[in-house]
Amino acid sequence: MQVELVQTIGEGWAFPLTGFMNELQLVESLQMKTVTDKDGKRHMLSVPITQDISAEMKQALTGCKAVALCNEKINGGNPIAVIRNPVFFANRKEEICARAFGCFSTAHPMANNITNQNDWLISGEMDFLTKVMWNDGMDQYRLTPKQIKLAIEAKNADACYAFQVRNPLHNGHCLLLKDTRVQL
């Protein structure tokens, strides 16, 4: 899931985020359901995008100038991103669950995920070193917002529709896509 979040941020899907949320962005997202960009404009972003770490990891990383983010299944275990000048703050698990999902029950899958996280969050300036590739035969369809815009312009399209899913595509999604196409 964390690699998916790195991909989401790195490809621009979580604009205006350029890294995992810092404490101010997290609080704004929880309280206002927005994140403010560098020009002061607010953008809807109601779900926190954070990276948790353990107390031991926080202690080991304190004072480091950079933290490499790696996953053994992605990019051969080589770094996919780097957090520069890392900052650490408490993982407000109960507040995050209550504000984002309206509950603090482990019966809710995302609340359960958050309650099982470590007690600290890490943020900082992020550099994305490589495009996340899952090597599952679907990478060619995972376009960035910029690539989608260029494809629309190349087709000289006068209309475009999209449907972003948070879980595997199922029949309900397909019906929405087909109905939208018919209406257009």
Query: What pLDDT digit, counting tens, does each position of 4-44 carry?
Result: 999 999 999 899 999 999 999 999 999 999 999 999 999 99
Tokens of 15: 């604009």
Are 14 and 49 part of one and the same domain? Answer: yes
What is the tens place of the pLDDT at every residue in 161-178? 877 766 667 888 889 989
Name the residue range of residue 174's domain. 143-183
Shared-domain flag, residues 38 and 122: yes
Does 80 share its domain with 42? yes
The DSSP bridge partners found for residue 71 are: 74
Same domain for 97 and 27: yes
Task: State which amino acid sits at residue 183.
Answer: Q
Provide the pairing of β-strand 66-69 with 42-44.
unpaired
pLDDT of residue 167: 65
The verdict on 77 and 105 lying in the same domain is: yes
For residues 12 and 62, state if they share a domain. Answer: yes
User: 77 and 150 share a domain?
Assistant: no
As a whole number of angstroms, the distance between CA 179 and CA 184 comes to 9
Q: 67 and 124 in one domain?
A: yes
Residue 58 lies in a domain: yes
Q: Is position 135 within any domain?
A: no
CATH number at residue 14: 3.10.400.10
**Do 74 and 132 meet the contact criterion of CB atoms below 8 Å apart?**
yes
Residue 41 main-chain phi, psi, to 5 deg: -85, 135
Q: Among the three residues 98, 128, 158, which one is the final residue of a domain in this structure? A: 128
SS3 at position 104: coil
pTM attached to this predicted model:
0.86
Determine the 3-state secondary structure of 36 from DSSP: strand
Own/partner pairs, 17-20, CB within 8 angstroms, 24+ separation: 17/45, 17/49, 18/125, 18/126, 19/83, 19/123, 19/124, 19/125, 19/126, 20/49, 20/50, 20/51, 20/83, 20/121, 20/122, 20/123, 20/124, 20/126
Domain count, the chain: 2
Q: Do both 111 and 166 map to the same domain?
A: no
pLDDT tens across 35-90, in order? 999 999 999 999 899 999 999 999 999 999 999 999 998 888 999 999 999 999 99
